Amino acid sequence: MGADFATVTPSYSDLRIDPDRLIRRINELGEIGKIEGTIGCARLALTDDDKAGRDLVMTWMQDLDLDISIDGVGNVIATMPHTADVAPVMTGSHIDTVATGGRYDGNLGVLAGLEVIETVITSGVTLERPLAVGWFTDEEGARFAPDMLGSLVYVGGMPIEDALEIEDADGVNVGDELTRIGYRGPVPCPGPAPHAFVELHIEQGPVLEDEDVTIGVVEGVQGISWTELTLQGQSCHAGTTPLRMRHDPGVVASRVCCFIRDLALEMGPSQVATVGVMNFEPNLINVVPDVVTMTIDLRNTDESLLQDAEERVRSYIDEIATSEGVEVESRTLARFEPVSFDPRVIDMVEAAAHKQHLSSRRLPSGAGHDAQMLARVCPTAMVFVPSVNGISHNVTEFTEAVDIEAGANVLLQTLLSLTETEF
Amino acid sequence: MGADFATVTPSYSDLRIDPDRLIRRINELGEIGKIEGTIGCARLALTDDDKAGRDLVMTWMQDLDLDISIDGVGNVIATMPHTADVAPVMTGSHIDTVATGGRYDGNLGVLAGLEVIETVITSGVTLERPLAVGWFTDEEGARFAPDMLGSLVYVGGMPIEDALEIEDADGVNVGDELTRIGYRGPVPCPGPAPHAFVELHIEQGPVLEDEDVTIGVVEGVQGISWTELTLQGQSCHAGTTPLRMRHDPGVVASRVCCFIRDLALEMGPSQVATVGVMNFEPNLINVVPDVVTMTIDLRNTDESLLQDAEERVRSYIDEIATSEGVEVESRTLARFEPVSFDPRVIDMVEAAAHKQHLSSRRLPSGAGHDAQMLARVCPTAMVFVPSVNGISHNVTEFTEAVDIEAGANVLLQTLLSLTETEF
């Protein structure tokens, strides 16, 4: 069923958020858990600082007379009061951060959603469906693994009982911490499926800035394959041992590192490949290493291509390790299939950018987001805005005010379109 | 001038050392500083254990009524009394060890020299020149840098005043430690040049064992080129950063590691190349490294080939770092030219092995030895015997008794030949 313009005011597409109010709130929230001498902050999930951040955002939700629900895993959803009992169009993200976090990652999506709702309420526009904004518990996973925990539980991907028992490094569990900070709510999990979901987030990468594009239209999330290799060779003297008698795991590791780079280049831009960890033992200048451990991070937006990459890497490792006489132990550390967002919602994000004369490009997300969980239960997409120097999870994380304003306005128009779209 | 058989007995070439006595002494010395539960020992230079080891070997020298000289840097040379005032044919090595040392490295050369002298004295053979056996202070360099310190000072490569001021990691200097253990002797440095010098040593590599050869006829010592590279790239997210925007020092390091292996293979067996150290920062699975440090160890027996290898590696690093957009800082950690031993002495070692029906092969030394210092002042060569599994600088270091016996007999016959050879 197509759009129905009957119940919205004619000024609908002229609505714009208030950038000063939004940025004021981002900065006010960023003061909580602030890392002194920086613009970064640390609000690990369910800590006192996370509670203080939650309490602050809660007051803003209450000021707007939104219906606030807190569920059993501490997800907080604020919905505009509405005459009809219909599923809301939802936005949101998270407000927990990593230990060296910035003030934009996650927070932007929650506060921009709040700003969109305040803008709509202030305008007096009547919507066919209400808007809702939420934050999900422990998206970062920096304190409690796995990441995206709250949204995973929200969509029924993990039983709440299991989630509550997850412990941090000190043996403190999610359930006790939720109770302690007062966010173990009465609303059951999984939660109700929204009509649709759109998340605004910083890119956390360099592509938009590099191409001088304001709006990233996110088509999906890359699939991830993480492997740890332990390469067992034979330590020997770098001077006295001829090459033909060596079993050098450092050479095997290096060849694998070169191979995955070359493979990704050959496969094209959908494939990325990284060796982030490399440890030589004994790590002495004149000793051929005994053992090398390394990690391989492969990502692709296409599951079959990702499988193909994995297979080719596996087969190369076998070949090169055999030829060097090195033993390989391989362990999968993580494996997630790619997530594709809803083409109709993707189109609507792109159209909203276009109508506002904002430059845009489609791109995948290289990082995980709550939206990929919501995509299991409703039509979903994301909006990215540029990260200066591509930096995030770092106290220097920054996004320009003009980009924040643009992203929030694209979010606003997309959400409004979704209120009048039936799927 | 050729050999002159006038003054030696007819039984000359039938002389053989006493293997039991030699191995008993090796094991007795190996008990000092013994690492419990192993056959290894730790007698770092100028420690109490080194003093105890020196004192023990000194008693054996005294039992043979040898003329013992102790010089200002603690080198001890014991010479057979002789009627004529002629330069001795010298052998020797060192009795200090690394912290996880074996009982053969160095010690074999000193005790085999002593055994040769005892054998000659017992036989009543009269020599044209006396034999001498010495040990040189701090060959390992494990406590005081540089290694081969005592022999360096002996040949005039470093003024004694400089050597005495060298400090260990705790700030204790060589001079004070020599005085403390009673080995700061009166004999001036540099010492007198011997007529010739031959050192017996374990191979510390796998070649002889691998080829089932008993005697290594050492032609020289490889030249060494040690370089440390600091590769400065740009840290970024392994998911969100396209390959074309990366400056990944890990990829550069890996390509360099592959290149030096391939280069050495192409250059042939005289060239070896090793990356022993590799450090990624921040060393996280999903982060492209910011900085990688690594070392390159290149060795060749031919100086011009070593220079060629260095130049090709340098040029490859420039090329690959530029193409990846990574900054390179390069630092030379060590650079020694190859040492070639005297072809006449090499021939004599080979002939001695041949006459005793022992298998032999010529090979270079991949490690440094006191003999390379002595080669600056007199005709010099070395004899190697096999190391089980090529292992040394390790408590499992071992050489079979039969090989020790063979090596000591080759040393004996070579030294006897040298007493009647004028250069």
Spell out which residues of chain B touch residue A273, defining contact as CB-CB under 8 Å.
243
Task: Considering only the beta carbons, identify the residue of B243, B283, B367 that sits closest to A272.
Answer: B243
Would you say the ipTM is above 0.85? yes
Q: For B48-145, where are the E strands, in sequence order?
A: 67-70, 76-79, 89-93, 131-135
Contact call for A204 and B242, based on CB within 8 A: no
- Token pair 């160890």 is found at B297
Q: What local confidence, expressed as pLDDT, does residue B334 receive? A: 86
Contact call for B239 and A297, based on CB within 8 A: yes
Question: Please, are residues A52 and A33 in contact by the beta-carbon 8 Å criterion?
Answer: yes
Q: What is the 3-state secondary structure (H, E, C) of B124-170?
A: CCCCCCCEEEEECCCCCCCCCCCCCHHHHHHCCCCCHHHHHCCECCC
Contact call for B390 and A245, based on CB within 8 A: yes
Spell out which residues of chain B touch residue A279, defining contact as CB-CB under 8 Å.
280, 283
* Residues B368, B358: Cα–Cα separation, whole Å: 25
CA B69, B75, B77: angle at the middle one, nearest 5? 40
* Residues B174, B73: Cα–Cα separation, whole Å: 8
pLDDT of B205-237, one tens digit each?
999 999 999 999 999 999 999 999 999 999 999
Q: What local confidence, expressed as pLDDT, does residue A11 receive? A: 65
Q: What local confidence, expressed as pLDDT, does residue B3 receive? A: 46
Spell out which residues of chain B touch residue A277, defining contact as CB-CB under 8 Å.
280, 283-285
**Longest alpha-carbon distance in chain B:** 86
User: Which CATH architecture group holds A223-336?
Assistant: 2-Layer Sandwich (3.30)
Q: For A249-314, where are the E strands, in sequence order?
A: 271-274, 278-281, 287-288, 291-300
- Token pair 């009061």 is found at A81
Identify the sign of the CA torsion A149, A151, A157, A159: positive
Q: What local confidence, expressed as pLDDT, does residue B11 receive? A: 65
Please indicate whether the domains covering A12-221+338-419 and A223-336 agree at the CATH topology level. Answer: no
Task: Considering only the beta carbons, identify the residue of A237, A243, A244 that sits closest to B205.
Answer: A237
Multiple choice CATH, A12-221+338-419, 3.40.50.1980, 3.40.50.920, 3.40.630.10, 3.30.70.360: 3.40.630.10
Question: Nearest-CA neighbor of B54 among B97, B23, B17, B15?
Answer: B97
For chain A, residues with pLDDT lower than 70 are 1-11
Residues 6+ positions from B133 with CB-CB distance below 8 Å: B61, B66, B77, B78, B90, B91, B92, B110, B113, B114, B116, B117
Q: Which residue of B has its CA nearest to A387?
A: B240
Instruction: Give SS3 for B10.
Output: coil
Contact call for A240 and B390, based on CB within 8 A: yes
Task: Considering only the beta carbons, identify the residue of A240, A257, A265 that sits closest to B367.
Answer: A240
Q: Which residues of A290-319 are buried (b: 16+ CB within 10 A; e: fewer)?
A: bbbbbbbbbbbbbeebbeebbebbeebbee
Q: What local confidence, expressed as pLDDT, does residue B2 receive? A: 43
The CATH homologous superfamily of the domain defined by B12-221+339-419: Zn peptidases (3.40.630.10)
pLDDT of A77-100, one tens digit each?
999 999 999 999 999 999 999 998
Amino acid at A217: V
For chain B, residues with pLDDT lower than 50 are 1-6, 8-10
Instruction: Give SS3 for B369.
Output: coil
Q: Which two tokens stand for residue B101?
A: 């040392």
* Residues B150, B191: Cα–Cα separation, whole Å: 11
Question: Nearest-CA neighbor of A293 among A346, A250, A334, A325?
Answer: A250
Residues 6+ positions from A353 with CB-CB distance below 8 Å: A214, A215, A217, A359, A360, A410
Spell out which residues of chain A touch residue B279, defining contact as CB-CB under 8 Å.
280, 283
Q: What local confidence, expressed as pLDDT, does residue B12 receive? A: 79
Strands B196-202 and A236-237: unpaired
Instruction: Give SS3 for A296.
Output: strand
Q: Which two tokens stand for residue B134?
A: 């010495």
**Domain residue spans of chain A:** 12-221+338-419, 223-336
Question: Please, are residues B196 and B90 in contact by the beta-carbon 8 Å criterion?
Answer: yes
